[in-house]
Amino acid sequence: MTKEMPSLRCIIGTLFIALLLPPGSFPATTLSPSFYDETCPTVFSIIRGIIEQALLSDPRIGASLLRLHFHDCFVNGCDASILLDNSATIESEKEAAPNNNSARGFEVVDAMKIALEFECPGIVSCADILAIAAQEAVNLAGGPSWLVLLGRRDSTTANRTLANLAIPAAFETLDVLKSKFAAVGLNTSTDLVALSGAHTFGRAQCTIVIERLYNFNGTGKADPTLNATYLETLRKVCPQGGNGSVLVNLDPTTPNTFDSNYYTNLQAQEGLLQSDQELFSTSGADTIEIVERFSSNQIAFFESFVVSMLKMGNISPVTGTEGEIRLSCRRVHMDYTSSNKWSSS
């Protein structure tokens, strides 16, 4: 299965975007869209093909893969630390509150790594797999395509404590969201609003929104920013005392499509997560105008989303001779070789 060639607009646009990134955004060892051109030229088609296959049985896998990249980059940079399992040396970020029983898609990433190790042994990092998978997932859902900057290496550590603190949460206020974006070098206006637009596809569990529906901030009432009709719809799907693992569409209008309807939903007070609705319903916020602009101009949203994704993907990458290229995305080399030695014995 071959990947469609990026459009000329995509190529020119991505190169132009690189010029827009602020000074100091790139590490000393610059990431490059051509990093694997000689060593693993089929990397994109392999990853895209596996996502296409996964989508046949799991329509939300694209959103899940994009989320893995987000949650990875917010914790010590885009280094694939989120993929590491618990071991004698690793306290996995998978068990941090924002990820536990929530982050998913790890088996699909495993399939990508296995296929790439067969095709290009020891070449493609797990961190770059997440970056490419995020772009392919967005594009397969109808969103933009861009030239992914590559050349990251994988971390040899994880940081569950920081994952609990740094990853934006569904129940947070706009001020808290802004502080978390600023902490990783993203701006608190356009980057925040554009990257939040990733919630234009995918699902969330009832347990994430139940307090908002019945006991917002301990009031015993629903969040007043929720549209009354939408509230009743959500209460039918997520009854009080019901099954918290039931899934709700993040975008009630086009749940599997990457588009600007997310912002139109916010204007109608139909943002599923408090963190989403905060962008439009916080009085006097500088994010309101951006929501309105993206709602009325999908191209503007797509262009800003690409810029912000490139910036986020460039948060503290491990490059050069630092880190490693894992053989399994779930384990660092030391744990992987030890495990294989015992398996052989």
Binding residues, as ranges, are 72, 75, 77, 79, 81, 93, 168, 199-200, 251, 254, 259
Alpha-carbon dihedral 115, 118, 123, 124, rounded to 10 degrees: 0
**146-162: b or e for each residue (b if 16 or more CB lie within 10 Å)?**
bbbbbbbbbbbebbbee
**Is the separation of the CB atoms in 158 and 91 below 8 Å?**
yes
Find the catalytic residue in 48, 67, 69, 71.
71
Q: What single string gives the DSSP state of each residue in 196-243? A: HGGGGS-EEEHHHHHHHHH-GGGSSS--TTS-HHHHHHHHHHS-TTS-
Long-range contacts of 94-100 (CB under 8 A, 24+ apart): 95/160, 96/160, 96/163, 96/164, 96/167, 97/164, 97/169, 98/71, 98/163, 98/164, 98/167, 98/168, 98/169, 99/71, 99/163, 99/167
Active site residue 333: no
Q: In one letter, which amino acid is 80?
A: A
User: Which residues does the annotation place in the binding site for substrate?
Assistant: 168
Give catalytic residues, as residue numbers: 71
